[in-house]
């Protein structure tokens, strides 16, 4: 059965995809142009943030185009025209970006090599398992037992990730400065609050009888989650890296020159 959306429903999904593309593009440019403000030893985490939003930007452009091509405007409504709306782009994006998101959090804390390696491996395996187990459920019929079973299986690695972030990673925060500790706490709660959006969007087809409404809720929900989980998460990672850089006494060459120049000009004016 072809999905039929009214004009408001279609525009809401269409504009939400457009908004995500703008957020990913803007954050990509910001991370790229601001990278020099970060000390070299903390720069890898910002590089990973840049990569994450760049990957998401590409996939959302593909999602946007696929959605637009899958519907035709007929008698005041948007009717699915037989061309498939490719949901695979979203899951491929998550498969690449979610492990990177978790890795950048571990990297920016500059823990011991053994601890860093262990955390990244465990979080990566859990993230891949979470996404891989959710995909078959996404392909299942709404309200089906298969969708519920795959959803529950996908939740298990999700809960393990939260355990690592809040319990194991929390043990390492005592070695961080108070400002960094506060930012990391914010990141962990951002992950919790943001990632709750995804299962809510996932179960929308199972709890909302109207197919058009459930599809809109699902697509807009995923879009909101991705904006919070990628650009906003990346900005907090950038703030942590910047705080650590300043604590290490790092001053970008251009900024330092400007500051010195300002002091010299002020001194000349005083002598004059």
Dump pLDDT digits (tens) for 219-265. 999 999 999 999 999 999 999 999 989 988 888 865 554 444 444 54
pLDDT in tens, 165-210: 888 777 777 777 888 888 888 888 888 888 889 999 999 988 998 9
Encode pLDDT of 72-118 as tens digits. Answer: 999 999 999 988 899 899 999 999 999 999 999 888 888 888 888 99
pLDDT grade, residue 211 (50/70/90)?
very high
Q: How far apart are CA 67 and CA 215, in angstroms?
A: 12
Report the pLDDT value the prediction gives residue 1, as an integer from 0 to 100.
58
- Residue 272 pLDDT more than 50? no
Separation between Cα atoms, residue 252 and residue 39, nearest integer Å: 8
Angle at alpha carbon of residue 50, lines to 44 and 55, rounded to 5°: 125
Q: Residue ranges per domain, the chain?
A: 4-248
Output the pLDDT for position 267.
45
Model confidence at 266, pLDDT cuts 50, 70, 90, reads very low
The correct answer on CATH 2.40.50.140 for the domain covering 4-248 is no
Give whole-number Cα distances, 80 to 45, 84, 202, 222, 261, in Å: 41, 8, 21, 20, 62
Spatial distance between the Cα atoms of 234 and 240, rounded to a whole number of angstroms: 10
What number is the average pLDDT over the span 120-132?
A: 94
CB atoms within 10 A of CB 112: 10
Q: Cα–chain-centroid distance for residue 37?
A: 22
pLDDT of residue 255: 53
User: How high is the pLDDT of residue 190?
Assistant: 84
CB 89 within 8 A of CB 62: yes
Nearest to 13 by CA among 224, 162, 272, 234: 224
127-177 pLDDT, tens digit per residue, is 999 999 999 988 888 778 898 899 999 999 999 998 888 887 777 777 778
């Amino acid at each position: 059965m072809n999905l039929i959306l009214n004009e408001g429903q279609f525009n809401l999904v269409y504009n939400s995809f457009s908004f995500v593309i703008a957020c990913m593009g803007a954050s990509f440019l910001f991370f790229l142009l601001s990278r020099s403000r970060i000390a070299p030893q903390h720069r890898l985490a910002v590089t990973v943030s840049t990569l994450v939003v760049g990957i998401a930007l590409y996939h959302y452009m593909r999602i946007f185009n696929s959605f637009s091509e899958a519907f035709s405007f007929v008698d005041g409504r948007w009717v699915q025209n037989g061309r498939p709306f490719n949901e695979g782009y979203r899951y491929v994006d998550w498969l690449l970006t979610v492990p990177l998101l978790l890795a950048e959090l571990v990297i920016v804390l500059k823990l011991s090599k053994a601890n860093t390696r262990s955390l990244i491996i465990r979080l990566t395996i859990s993230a891949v398992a979470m996404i891989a187990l959710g995909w078959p459920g996404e392909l299942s019929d709404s309200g089906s037992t298969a969708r519920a079973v795959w959803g529950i299986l996908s939740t298990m690695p999700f809960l393990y990730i939260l355990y690592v972030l809040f319990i194991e990673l929390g043990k390492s925060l005592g070695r961080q400065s108070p400002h960094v500790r506060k930012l990391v706490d914010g990141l962990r709660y951002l992950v919790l609050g943001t990632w709750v959006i995804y299962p809510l969007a996932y179960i929308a087809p199972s709890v909302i009888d109207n197919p058009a409404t459930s599809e809109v809720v699902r697509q807009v929900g995923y879009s909101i989650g991705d904006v919070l989980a990628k650009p906003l998460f990346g900005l907090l990672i950038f703030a942590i890296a910047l705080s650590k850089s300043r604590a290490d006494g790092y001053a970008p060459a251009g900024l330092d020159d400007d500051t010195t120049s300002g002091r010299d000009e002020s001194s000349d004016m005083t002598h004059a």
